[in-house]
A and B are shown apart, each in its own frame.
Chain A
Amino acid sequence: MIGILALVAETAVNLSPLGLDWWIVLGGWVPGFTSAIIAIIIWARARKGGRE
């Protein structure tokens, strides 16, 4: 499997360990998951504030 990935990486230098282009990971997946984490933090803080 690693061999095939290495072969793919040779033809596409931007490939991340996920087997996808770094542009896809950094330009899409990172902002998407970050927004989910921020949503949880905002909700948790509001909940804590509501209890106090």
Chain B
Amino acid sequence: MMDGINPVSLAIVIIYMSMLAFIGWISRNKVKSCSDWYVGNFQIGGVIMGVAFFATYFSAVLMVGFAGSASKWGMSATVIGMWHPVAALIAFAVLAPTLAKMFRSLGAMTFSEFLTLRFKSQLLGSLSSLLTAIFIIPYTVSAFLAMGTALSLLVNMPIWVGIVASGIIIALYVFTGGLFSATLAEFLQGIIMTVAVVCVWTVSYSILGGFLPAHEALASISISAVTFPALGSPLWTTMIGLTAVMGFGMLAQPQMVLRYSTICSKMDVKKAMVIAVFGSLIFPLAAYSYGPLSRAILALPEYGIDVMTIANDNVIIPTFVNLALPSWLAALFLIGILGAAVSTIDALVHLMAGTVTRDLIIPILKPKITDKGQLNTTKVLSLVLSLGSCIVAAIFSTGLIYQLASYTWRVLASAFMGPILAAVFIKGANKTGALTGMVVGFLSSQLWYLYSNNIWLAIFNVAKCPIDPFFIGVPLSIIATVIGNRFGKAPEDIVKLLFK
């Protein structure tokens, strides 16, 4: 570890952040209306959106947080990652073509506005917006934490300095360019972060002598590092839960829906699908592999570190990169971390600012506001929300990254899976069904999250409940939506418009 600030790493950070600020500046002329800021005026092509999709999907949360925890879980963690491309395929092959058409036909600019217009219910839109704005915060905080931890160990600066500096730059460039600058930056960041992760992955295998010797090295430390956990064990519960939440939970995440619903044409959806599926295959496979491999590398005599003794999983990967990788790769990894964190945070800030303005402030307070006024309100909110999230991250800097991130995904997937599937596939879906599905999914997953372990202990005498809240919230959300649909009437004009 270095004693002072590493000047090379610091220079990389400054150049990178300046590049982001430049993207924001060149994008400012592209944004003339709300539609430009919110959905890139539905003009974003397949290649750019495909890369932006997985750049938003995966972030420093995976590169640092999940990979760090995976160093303790072993190679079974790759199972979590390998279901991401399956979910991406479903998103683009099944949902995106219909959703993109519906978004355009309704003129929806946010996820919540889509629900408002599809079901003709402002209550539904405002409620979903409130849920999104509140529960997306832990995820944003986790991304700031991942970036701050990596910066603090690789550049040797206090965590809070890294978090606040990056928060200011992200706020400024989302403020100026909206979805145009966010997507353009995500495209570049997606490429950089993939290169970084793949390089760390291949170098990790080469340090251990290749593919099979690396797995042998892991097996020699502990056979559990190369085997799937025993059925019903706490680790098995974690694996199965995270596989479902981080894979299929993605389908109902508002920030992800907004990515695959704003593509300009049918052919572009197909192009985006191939890129998104491949990115979703390579990136998590690499990250969930170098995590466990770092355990075998750090256990080598020259380092002599047992990762199982490191209390905070968040610091394992930065420590591994700092100690075991060549300096050029550590620098590349640092750039990758910045790209991965920024590309996710900008999407979340964009989502939060957009939905609060369009689905909460305007419909509820009904201010007399012009298109330009609305755009300015959203921009100011993006500034406030990104700075607010980074301050929260700086205060709670010891939280476990993967727990914060998966919590958000669990809540949002449970609340929105029923309504979004009904909106796309059920012609007669109506506001009663969507509202019921959203409320039941949200409440059941939250209650299960809070009380499942106590209930399990009381009835089965087992300390940890093996059923993830996702498996309660999502099915109940879908069932409640279907049942609720029987008690309402679908808006005829909308059905005619969307299902003609």
Contacts and interface: CB of A to CB of B under 8 A. Distances in A.
Contacts of A4: 216, 220
Interface residues of B, number: 37
B281 interface: yes
B281 A12 contact: no
B85 A1 contact: no
Contact of B267 (A12, A27, A36, A46): A46
Interface residues of A, number: 30
Contact of B281 (A20, A33, A43): A33
Interface stretch (B75-83, B324-332, B354-362): B75-83
B97 to A, nearest CB: 10
Interface in A1-41: 1, 4-5, 8, 11-12, 14-15, 18-21, 23-24, 27-29, 31-33, 35-36, 38-40
A29 B212 CA distance: 16
A43 B216 contact: no
Nearest to A2: B212
Contact of A21 (B85, B93, B227, B266): B227
B226 A21 contact: yes
B273 interface: yes
A21 B224 CA distance: 9
A36 B118 CA distance: 32
B215 A24 contact: no
Given A5-B216, A50-B267, A35 B85 contact: yes
Given A21-B76, A24-B75, A28-B79, A39 B212 contact: no
Q: Which of A14, A27, A28, A46 has the most CB of B within 10 A?
A: A28
A20 B288 CA distance: 14
Nearest to A17: B212
Contacts of B215: 18-20
Contacts of B83: 28, 31-32
B76 A39 contact: no
B interface SS class: helix
A38 B83 CA distance: 14
Contacts of A39: 85, 89, 92-93, 273-274, 277-278
Contacts of B79: 23-24, 27-28
B285 A32 contact: yes
B483 interface: no
Contact of A42 (B84, B270, B278): B270
A46 B269 CA distance: 10
B430 to A, nearest CB: 32
Nearest to A19: B215
Contact of A12 (B78, B82, B223, B285): B223
Interface string B62-83: 0000000000000110111111
Contacts of A46: 266-267, 270
A19 B88 CA distance: 28
Given A5-B212, A23-B227, A28 B270 contact: no
B213 A1 contact: yes
B219 interface: yes
A50 B268 CA distance: 12
B211 interface: yes
Contacts of A8: 216, 219-220, 223, 226
B233 to A, nearest CB: 13
Interface of B: 75-76, 78-86, 88-89, 92-93, 211-216, 219-220, 223, 226-228, 266-267, 270-271, 273-274, 277-278, 281, 285
28 contacts: A5-B216, A8-B223, A8-B226, A15-B227, A18-B211, A18-B212, A18-B215, A19-B211, A19-B219, A20-B226, A21-B76, A23-B76, A23-B227, A24-B78, A24-B227, A28-B79, A28-B80, A31-B82, A32-B85, A33-B82, A35-B86, A35-B88, A35-B277, A39-B274, A43-B270, A43-B271, A46-B270, A47-B267
9 shortest interchain CB distances as A-B pairs: A19-B215, A32-B82, A28-B79, A23-B228, A28-B82, A39-B277, A21-B227, A46-B270, A35-B89
